């Protein structure tokens, strides 16, 4: 893969011939292959997207990111155009892009601090404000000042599907699972789904009546996508899931990832966000619903991939790390 990545890079960016290209061992959960490109003192990210990525969606995303970066948000990795003037590169049935390598480390869990928490939610609010100010509209990225949140319908559909044969099939597979970690995490997640789903389905059905602003959001902003240098956020990365939705999809995702259910820290985080972009009552109501449904459905996704689809895509150890955090969250009391 590295040799092929080098050939594609040189074909589209001939000025980068014979540069140093290193695969990144810990890439994201999206299934993308990521390489770090060293050009003198500069670093770039050379990314190969999985086959299910849409060229049109990427093209719209790149235009949005250029608009956001132009509003003095240096935390956004702006895709670079190749010799043909395109930032979306199609080669060998895969899509590629070259972007700046953002400085910093995704190390909040290793060094949690109130200033870092505030910085993360301040910069998320600034990203949302800039994205909403962009004049660019397309199929995937547009704005509406009062609409039903798309993610509410998505969560309802996913949770209703759980009530069918898929959950029973996963529970049966877990009884035969020889690996104790998979069995333990899987049983915590499936038990939580059985317990929470009826009430959560009812609450989400009621939430379809809530009207909130919708706009471009990241939809996958979590611990590994927020880079820090000291207490300053120096990068928000990985926009593969970005589309138009409610900002609370991002807020609930980042809250759950960084601080779990800690009520005091959630208050601090939301205060930092609202100092930049105030939230409506309807948006506040959505946050806990999206948070819980995200935890449950994230766990279910990995169980489905292992037991129903047989397609994990990334290392089993990394998935088990993710499942350990999910089950810890489901087992922890509200604080």
CATH number, domain of 305, equals 3.90.1200.10
Assess whether 160 and 214 both reside in one domain.
yes
Taking a C-beta distance cutoff of 8 angstroms, is the pair 269, 123 a contact?
Answer: no
At 86, list the tokens. 């395109």
Taking a C-beta distance cutoff of 8 angstroms, is the pair 123, 235 a contact?
Answer: no
Domain with 7 in it: 2-100
At 70, list the tokens. 């132009």
Assess whether 93 and 143 both reside in one domain.
no
CB burial of 10-19 (b: ≥16 within 10 Å; e: otherwise) equals: eebbeebeeb
Q: Is 45 helix (H, G, I), strand (E, B) or coil?
A: strand
Q: Residue 107 domain-assigned? A: no
Q: Is the pTM value of this prediction over 0.85?
A: yes
Residue by residue, pLDDT tens for the chain (335 residues) are 788 999 999 999 999 988 888 988 655 566 688 999 999 889 999 999 988 889 999 999 999 999 999 999 999 999 999 999 999 999 988 999 999 999 999 999 999 999 999 999 999 999 999 999 987 788 999 999 999 999 999 999 999 888 777 899 999 999 999 999 999 999 999 999 999 999 999 999 999 999 999 999 999 999 999 999 999 999 999 999 999 999 999 999 999 999 998 999 999 999 999 999 999 999 999 999 999 999 999 999 999 989 988 775 567 888 999 999 999 999 876 54
Name the residue with tokens 């199929």: 139
Q: Residue 236 domain-assigned? A: yes
Assess whether 198 and 312 both reside in one domain.
yes
Query: What are 278-285's contacts with CB under 8 Å, separation 24+?
Result: 279/247, 279/248, 279/251, 280/212, 280/213, 282/210, 282/211, 282/212, 283/212, 283/246, 283/247, 283/248, 285/207, 285/210
- What pLDDT shows up at residue 310? 75
- What pLDDT shows up at residue 335? 42
Assess whether 124 and 82 both reside in one domain.
no
Domain tally, the chain: 2
Q: Which residues pair with 20 in a beta bridge?
A: 38
Residue 230 CB partners (closer than 8 Å, separation 6+) = none
Assess whether 143 and 41 both reside in one domain.
no
Q: Is 177 helix (H, G, I), strand (E, B) or coil?
A: coil
Taking a C-beta distance cutoff of 8 angstroms, is the pair 235, 103 a contact?
Answer: yes
Neighbours of 40 (CB within 10 A): 6
Give the CA angle between residues 89, 68, 47 to the nearest 5°: 30
Q: Residue 108 domain-assigned? A: no
Sign for the CA dihedral angle at 212, 218, 222, 223 comes to negative
Q: Residue 105 domain-assigned? A: no
Q: Residue 305 domain-assigned? A: yes
């Amino acid at each position: 893969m590295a040799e092929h990545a080098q050939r594609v890079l040189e074909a589209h960016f001939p000025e980068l011939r014979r540069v140093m290209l290193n695969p990144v061992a810990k890439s994201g959960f999206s299934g993308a292959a990521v390489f770090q490109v060293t050009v003198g003192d500069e670093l770039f990210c050379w990314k190969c997207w999985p086959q299910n990525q849409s060229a049109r969606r990427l093209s719209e995303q790149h235009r949005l990111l250029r608009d956001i970066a132009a509003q003095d948000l240096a935390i956004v990795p702006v895709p670079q155009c190749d010799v043909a003037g395109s930032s979306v590169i199609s080669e060998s049935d895969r899509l590629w892009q070259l972007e700046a390598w953002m400085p910093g480390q995704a190390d909040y869990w290793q060094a949690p601090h109130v200033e870092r928490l505030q910085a993360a939610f301040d910069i998320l609010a600034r990203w949302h404000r800039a994205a909403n100010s962009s004049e660019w509209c397309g199929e995937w990225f547009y704005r509406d000042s009062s609409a039903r949140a798309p993610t509410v319908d998505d969560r309802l559909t996913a949770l209703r599907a759980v009530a069918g044969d898929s959950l029973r099939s996963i529970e049966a597979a877990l009884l035969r699972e020889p690996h104790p970690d998979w069995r333990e995490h899987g049983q915590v997640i499936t038990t939580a789904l059985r317990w929470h789903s009826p009430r959560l389905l009812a609450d989400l059905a009621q939430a379809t009546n809530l009207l909130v602003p919708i706009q471009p959001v990241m939809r996958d902003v979590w611990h590994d996508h927020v880079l820090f240098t000291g207490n300053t956020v120096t990068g928000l990365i990985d926009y593969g899931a970005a589309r138009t939705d409610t900002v609370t999809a991002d807020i609930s995702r980042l809250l759950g990832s960084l601080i779990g259910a800690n009520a005091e820290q959630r208050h601090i985080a939301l205060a930092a966000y609202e100092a930049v972009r105030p939230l409506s009552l309807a948006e506040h109501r959505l946050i806990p619903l999206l948070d819980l449904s995200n935890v449950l459905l994230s766990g279910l996704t990995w169980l489905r991939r292992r037991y129903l689809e047989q397609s994990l895509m990334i290392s089993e150890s990394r998935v088990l790390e993710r499942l350990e955090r999910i089950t810890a969250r489901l087992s922890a009391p509200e604080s």
